[in-house]
Amino acid sequence: MALFSMLRTNLRNLFSKPATILYPFVEKPVYPATRGSVEFNLQNCIFCSLCQKKCPTHAIEVDKNAKKISIDRLDCITCGACVDACPKKCIEMTSKRNAPSLGNPSKKDLYTQNA
């Protein structure tokens, strides 16, 4: 009996479309509730460091004197707490996907922007 069950499953999978996609060549569709990555608009930023205080994983560092924001992409869980806390709305969640890195970047400088 198990042989017929396995044969039926194999035939069904043989004539159906694949369950996976060829990712680098075929882009995965972006759904409305997708949380992609955190992006900063430093022209509007007042460097109040509320995003740094509200981040649950402490992935954001704000340097007020140098007018610099750093985010550690490996620690960020894309929860959106920094986006909600920003009074000037200069932080946004985008559905943009980042390209994979071939090198080994230092953990601290994964993303840094200067004003």
Contact 64, 47 (CB under 8 A): yes
Region 2-21 average pLDDT:
88
- Quote the radius of gyration of the chain (alpha carbons, Å): 21
The count of domains in the chain is 1
CATH number for the domain that contains residue 72: 3.30.70.3270
In-domain check, residue 8: no
In-domain check, residue 56: yes
In-domain check, residue 25: no
Eight-class DSSP state of 24: T
Region 26-45 average pLDDT:
83
Percent of the chain beyond pLDDT 70? 83
Cα–Cα dist 38/32, whole Å: 16
Cα–Cα dist 105/103, whole Å: 6
